[in-house]
Structure 1
């Protein structure tokens, strides 16, 4: 098919290689810096921070696709500077290439405003404190339409409208308004945690999403942005050497998340992403938390700018350290030291500021320890468990600490309870004649294909390996069954059959605190959670109250499992309505209610699990597609041991 070119841009005949026009170059370059509305918000807030602002206000419409307004009370710009600010590579942060070695500002490339004005309609209002009149500049698609005097408060206001209006190829790949707002909320939250002394306000379509007053105490920002429940569990951490300093807060092992999205790491107040640092934090907990879980951490690294390269990526989200391994080892050792010196037994809490008393029960202690929320806050905020360590105080390696750590294990009673629950649900669905497993993408239509279940017949259980795999033999074959994946498949099919037909009301309603980002996404998921048995409603700014839950959970002992379900659902953002929210809810409920990896099983429990798996429509894969059963024939084993050629 012949390619159509816009009027005035017919393809030039002759040479195949040509230099792109300036307008095309600017739009392509803008795509490296401005990926979505959250990128605009980040770049504008960076400029506000560099301008010395103590108050930053962000107003969003339609997830930032229609309008983004960022207003600050910083130093402002003169008219001359304002007229240069939107030019490509115009910056006040550096002058020479050598300045890249000592960058202490958030921005330095001179690309942010230039990129934003190339793909949006922008209005800039700015005034310096000593000036009487401010400056107004209107730019559409990189072209200046208006420059004039204007009355405005000291500081700078940048209003971005119709993002990507002139680059429809980028515009069509933006997600829903709520998803884009979630990314913006996450961006503002990270910058607010990195700069606790600055007041941040985020409004979406006139409704407040984040209000974080500036404070010299970073713990107050943690309480406000991560929620009181998380803040109560945070332990202060400080670590110093001659070359760098690490300070912040880490959660007790009782608070974990499925993903690493609540590991906040800042380098000289710059939010950064570092897999090496995430790994170092996770290794600091070692066996204190389950293998697939992550803690919550807010850590700030203060280091000589010459030791870190922030000029790695146009969005400045990734950095490189000259001594990355040393920093990672220091973080791991510091976390190990703090955890080893802290009381890690979960406490029963009596919270007067909730609907009713809500208890969090420790499985490792029979004694009930009751503390007021204020006392718990006091322990974290006053730093009674705070420890400051010089490098000489740490062992050369974490080996000694790790040898003392006990392997994480779930109690045997937990396995028995979960198996009895799935057996009762199997009997319920069979007795009521609820048959057929709906297709994941359309829960009303189709059944799973018929499956040959012969390989599960006549199994003789041998034992359990690594508290995860059931070993059994069938004739001369060795059969391995993943206990978590198998039970997850069993529960998944039952949940699909039942939907909200089996629920249990909680005697004591449970409250959960969400981050601002989680709350933004929660509103989209509530109808689907209700379909599968949750009674959930808003209760305060970032708090929800749960009044009943799916019967598949059995006895509910605390809010952790509910928060994990919500976090699991929200971790990857929005799922398209026509292809996945219901499916994701079912998979998450099954995963959270299933027997865990690391759970001990008796021979009778293993046999019961196999019997339940036989009744599944598709017993050979979990809802996420991982295998539940693997068979080794004697011939394959003989070949592995070189008994046959």
Structure 2
């Protein structure tokens, strides 16, 4: 696809069979390859766009190494059909590992079609460890979508197993392309700003403060029409929002950067996803300034507050007189009068201790405090117990989801009086289809109306008070974070469901809710880590607190 763009194509078609395991075909209407050059396409570096050492410092093409076809032809059957406008006929080439190159005349309009069949057929060890078809298709669509957004003036079509799945006509405004890929509702909510200096130009489409995600998957960056990944650029987006978003929420941003090729090195990563810069900090500042400039045109930047209304200086929610029955583990080192707790040496070496599993639970009377609407504080015999409310709820939902999926018992559903509609991105639509049965088992009632519009008219009864739109989108976002093994789809969905549906940091809780949360947490098989491995409970030993206050 990159070479098709380099060839000046105005239309690129990607066709897949069995998510690419059977065949992958890319067709374009670009300049094509003449017969003499076509005979060299399988020779390593023969088609390289680098002719002198200076070319490395002035790369403006997407592809340039000239090694892709030769590498692919070593592990698959590759066919090339191409024609330039001046030739009366097209040239067809076929290369199979170990066989001689087949060349013959053929028929085609101007452009090139490349087909790859039977990937890894001669490397069974590699083929064995390929991801599931749905996982591979998800990754392909993500790459397809990013290239399509970066090159809005080119039409892109995706066909899977003979069915047209995506058809994006060429548009001049990148905002329209973003809407075609990620949904019309997102397109309408985006703000736009530019920032220019003598070194670079930054054009940013970014979300308002009420449109966020649970991760940074909605932040895409493009350098000279090339999708790239760069951790520092996330910081530029963060600085542009000036900490106006709640903890754990991330804005959506599409950042288009135009830079002199001399200032970048695109040859730093095998897949060209990462790029090195002569002055990276300057670009980070340009990104943040473009977003700040956009916010300065609206009043929302100055008036928006976090949903809880709290800030870093607000006192924690306290229930000083309340003593409620909570289920806590009967771990001698933590709770029992006979337990020795942490020894003096351990306390000094590791003053903050992640709690480990103990024997069966029992009831204790515990006062609770909520700190910054994020942490639950519990007094225990040997010190202070701190519980992260989000990951605690995540652990509870995860184990319940696994049980529901294992027994295929559909959870109790709550029908919505007012159904909710969501405009999904192409990738989110695919995931909603793929995990539709999992959603149903969890208690969701959903169906597609037309295009990428999803109707949600039922949710799990235990989550009926959650914001429906944000919850479903957060679950879909979590599903995109990792590519699961085909044998662990249930665990992957359970993790994503739990993380997306769990109460968030910054959510104030009533005393009854805190009590129920702690009680359910310590009924879990593993109440001490979330499904992703983060600690749920941390203990600060009383010995350490005494030491800090210089008590004997």
Match of residue 460 from structure 1: 367
Contact 2:132/2:485 (<8 A) preserved: no
Deviation at 1:118, TM superposition (A): 1.8
Alignment RMSD: 3.0
Separation in structure 2 between the aligned mates of residue 620 and residue 316 of structure 1, nearest angstrom:
40
Contact 1:102/1:305 (<8 A) preserved: yes
Secondary structure of residue in 2 paired with 1:292: coil
Q: Which runs of 5+ in 1 are unaligned?
A: 1-44, 346-400, 417-422, 427-448
1:244-290, CA deviations, whole angstroms, 9 ceiling, x for partnerless residues?
10113111122222232222211111111111112221332242223
Deviation at 1:406, TM superposition (A): 5.1
Secondary structure of residue in 1 paired with 2:239: helix
Deviation at 1:105, TM superposition (A): 0.7
Please state if 1:243 is matched with 2:199: yes
Please state if 1:600 is matched with 2:511: no
Please state if 1:81 is matched with 2:81: no
Match of residue 506 from structure 1: 416
Match of residue 268 from structure 1: 224
Deviation at 1:148, TM superposition (A): 1.4
Separation in structure 2 between the aligned mates of residue 609 and residue 119 of structure 1, nearest angstrom:
53
Separation in structure 2 between the aligned mates of residue 156 and residue 284 of structure 1, nearest angstrom:
43
Contact 2:158/2:165 (<8 A) preserved: yes
Match of residue 314 from structure 2: none
Matches within 5 A, 1:282-431: 282-342=238-298, 344=300, 409=308
Please state if 1:482 is matched with 2:388: yes
Separation in structure 2 between the aligned mates of residue 314 and residue 613 of structure 1, nearest angstrom:
45
Secondary structure of residue in 2 paired with 1:261: helix
Query: Among residues 426, 448, 452, which one is paired with 1:516 in the alignment?
Result: 426
Separation in structure 2 between the aligned mates of residue 501 and residue 125 of structure 1, nearest angstrom:
53
Deviation at 1:552, TM superposition (A): 1.5
Separation in structure 2 between the aligned mates of residue 494 and residue 120 of structure 1, nearest angstrom:
44
Match of residue 367 from structure 1: none
Deviation at 1:408, TM superposition (A): 6.0
Separation in structure 2 between the aligned mates of residue 271 and residue 142 of structure 1, nearest angstrom:
35
Please state if 1:526 is matched with 2:432: no
Contact 1:467/1:598 (<8 A) preserved: yes
Q: Which TM-score applies when normalising by structure 2?
A: 0.84
Separation in structure 2 between the aligned mates of residue 476 and residue 139 of structure 1, nearest angstrom:
71
Separation in structure 2 between the aligned mates of residue 408 and residue 69 of structure 1, nearest angstrom:
49
Match of residue 92 from structure 2: 136
1:318 to 1:588, Cα distance in 2 relative to 1, 3 A? closer
Secondary structure of residue in 2 paired with 1:85: coil
Deviation at 1:478, TM superposition (A): 2.2
Separation in structure 2 between the aligned mates of residue 211 and residue 566 of structure 1, nearest angstrom:
22
Separation in structure 2 between the aligned mates of residue 267 and residue 148 of structure 1, nearest angstrom:
39
1:434-470, CA deviations, whole angstroms, 9 ceiling, x for partnerless residues?
xxxxxxxxxxxxxxx984435x722233x33333222
Contact 2:75/2:123 (<8 A) preserved: yes
Contact 1:410/1:599 (<8 A) preserved: no
Contact 1:114/1:142 (<8 A) preserved: no
Match of residue 47 from structure 2: 91
1:154 to 1:329, Cα distance in 2 relative to 1, 3 A? same
Deviation at 1:308, TM superposition (A): 0.5
Deviation at 1:561, TM superposition (A): 2.0
Query: Among residues 532, 546, 551, which one is paired with 1:638 in the alignment?
Result: 546
Moved more, 561-570 or 602-611: 602-611
Contact 1:485/1:628 (<8 A) preserved: yes
- Larger strand proportion of the pair: 2
Deviation at 1:135, TM superposition (A): 1.0
Secondary structure of residue in 1 paired with 2:40: helix
Match of residue 155 from structure 2: 199
1:509 to 1:150, Cα distance in 2 relative to 1, 3 A? same
1:269 to 1:626, Cα distance in 2 relative to 1, 3 A? closer
Deviation at 1:611, TM superposition (A): 4.9
Moved over 6 A (4+): none
Matches within 5 A, 1:154-303: 154-303=110-259
Q: Which runs of 5+ in 2 are unaligned?
A: 311-316, 318-323, 328-356
Contact 1:287/1:406 (<8 A) preserved: no
Deviation at 1:526, TM superposition (A): 0.6
Deviation at 1:108, TM superposition (A): 1.1
Separation in structure 1 between the aligned mates of residue 394 and residue 359 of structure 2, nearest angstrom:
17
Contact 1:122/1:140 (<8 A) preserved: yes
1:545-565, CA deviations, whole angstroms, 9 ceiling, x for partnerless residues?
222111122246552222222
Contact 2:75/2:121 (<8 A) preserved: yes
Equivalent pairs, count: 507
Please state if 1:64 is matched with 2:9: no
Deviation at 1:477, TM superposition (A): 2.2
Separation in structure 2 between the aligned mates of residue 487 and residue 241 of structure 1, nearest angstrom:
47
Contact 1:137/1:144 (<8 A) preserved: no
Secondary structure of residue in 2 paired with 1:486: helix
Contact 1:66/1:161 (<8 A) preserved: yes
Matches within 5 A, 1:47-62: 47-62=3-18
Contact 2:397/2:498 (<8 A) preserved: yes
- Larger helix proportion of the pair: 1
Contact 2:132/2:486 (<8 A) preserved: no
Q: Which TM-score applies when normalising by structure 1?
A: 0.73
Separation in structure 2 between the aligned mates of residue 183 and residue 537 of structure 1, nearest angstrom:
24
Contact 1:480/1:631 (<8 A) preserved: yes
Contact 1:287/1:408 (<8 A) preserved: no
Separation in structure 1 between the aligned mates of residue 223 and residue 282 of structure 2, nearest angstrom:
15
